[in-house]
A and B are shown apart, each in its own frame.
Chain A
Amino acid sequence: MSNFSLVSTVVFLPLVGVGMLLLVDRRREAAIKHLTFAVSVLTFLVSLQLYRGFQLNVPGMQFVERKPWIAGLGVQYFVGVDGISLLLVLLTTFLTAIAILSSYTAITTWVKEYMICMLLLETGMLGVFVALDLVLFYVFWEGMLIPMYFLIGVWGGPRRIYATLKFFLYTMAGGVLMLVGIIALYYLNGGRPGGEYTFDLLKMYGLDLPLRTQIWLFLAFAVAFAIKVPMFPFHTWLPDAHVEAPTAGSVILAGVLLKMGTYGFLRFALPLFPEATRYFTPLFSWLAIIGILYGALVSMVQPDLKKLVAYSSVSHLGFVMLGIFALTIQGVEGGILQMINHGLSTGALFLLVGMIYERRHTRMIEDFGGLARVIPVFTAFFLLVTLSSIGLPGLNGFVGEFLILVGTFQVNVLYAVLATSGVILAAVYMLWMFQRVMFGKVTHEANRRLTDLTAREVAVLVPVLLFIVWIGIYPRPFLATTEASVKQLLAQVHIRYRADEPRGGTPPIPTESGKVGMGPRVMDASREPRAERGAEGQRGRGAEGINIVSAGDRAGSALAQANRPQTTDDRRGARHAQ
């Protein structure tokens, strides 16, 4: 407990910043900007403390903090990090600081509100990565949409309303499906013998569900995550959102938000539904491969820089998904590393595109050309980031991609071959773009007057590039952080779970959370062995408890009819009780 609430500090520090911002006069824009940046840097520094205190060889959750929240429903404030989420937390705090610094000049209207949105967004994203309670996770997951909605909708481009609505509704639709899945899990977990009505993710890992149930629940979660990733064919919100979002919005969107989808797969879909995961591996691998190739091909012909990068994200995230669904240690570790890589390199790409956009107010590739002569420093940065995105060895992209491919190759050669051909395409579309923007002669007069990067812009880019090179040359610290957690995750996926007791009525084990709030009623009813509970319902006693429980049984039985004949009895009993 010596590390008490360090995670919470990281998560809610931005909120404190919001509180401070509210006290600043909105006309003092410079102060607002500096304050926000200071808060984000502080958050990053505190998150580094997480890394310092993190024990590499412990696979489970660390810095765990648990407090009752909505006790009656078994909802907790339950947070913690493991190797997988730690990296993403660091990425989030890092990129948010970068993004805020990058918007010093880009944002000229509603500065205070903008900064508040950025900080709220940071809290939301961090919450997603550390939440270990399903309801808490869901709250952060959906809550994070709101500041993003405003970021695109208020500070975006000409079609921002269309884009932001599409983004919001699309992700929301997926999220709602996930909510259904969460509630179903709640009742399935609580309804099993000795089960507990809780949203505690770690306790749900022990759930042993029949395959059919797993399949449906997996789909409910996977659709939400796949939209967020986005996997083909759920990707079309991404180009629109990216094109319309302000630079910092794009950076966060590409850098962190998309990772929430892949993270969701790792944290929820895979370990909760191991058999369904294996059942769906071919489907998702193929979707990932289609995404890789499709994203690359479509990216190639985009006339708009941001759209090009957006489609390239589809391709890169395809690699991540392929690695994850390889279900080998190299694949998953590569996938996680590639999440970080993509956050860095695509984030940097968006930063660079934003910088050039600020100068020229266009993102069309054809409006550029010959920039290398005019702004050499910018070109150098752009080149390095482009190469990182291509996956050039020695830079970060390669390590992730190669691990993914190696991991995939072990399980399916065809997947690896197809995915590797995506590496060729990446070179094609990125270099073609680079050539059209940077090489050749200056054809537009406006380009001749471009100014090179300012000191602030260099300061924005250099940290990102440092990481890009660092991961490329010495990825060991990053891989080592994830190794233990990934091993545990894979063990979860590969071993079929057996419940501690056989299914059916055995004496219940009293649990702690049954003692609080309106919990006891629910809990008591749930502790009755199934058959007896049905009979009791018929006599019409304990109607309140039964009503709540029977709703759960319905949800459960709808999902698990074939495998659980006894649930139909429950249903009949419940109806008589009404």
Chain B
Amino acid sequence: MELLVFAGLALVAAVAGLLVIVQRHAVYSALFLIITMGSLAGIYILLDAHFVWVIQVIVYAGAIMVLFLFVIMLLDIRSEPAPWAPPDRGRILIAVLLSVVLLAELGVAVARRFVLAPAGGPAVASSFGRTQTVGRLLFTDFLFPFEITSIILLVAMVGAMVLAKKRLH
């Protein structure tokens, strides 16, 4: 049962992931990316990451992707010519080949080290991945990095505003 759910979600994520990068117009890419992220969120449930999957939906699929769509529309970019047009063709070929090699390497790595790991993994406590657990950790063990994130976000916010602001001469 679990396997089936995983297979379905994984297939959706994989196909959508492929489609993200072959679209000629950015809006379609964004939409397929949302689909990928959604299906990944489902997979996260399988991994007992309850807090994270919610965040994935809200922050990633929601906020971030909306931001993307917003910008795409704001900029009103025409769809580009076919990405495999002659000047880029050689580069694309190399890139794809490299990616294949990369995938193969990752596969080998996985195959060598983790293929024998028991399916399903160890039993975990019921609190594993719950919001409460995550919260407790964030405010105890990871307090300092957590506080740093607030600074990062602040900086990003200010930075984004400064960068995107219209130049007022």
A and B touch in the complex (CB under 8 A): no
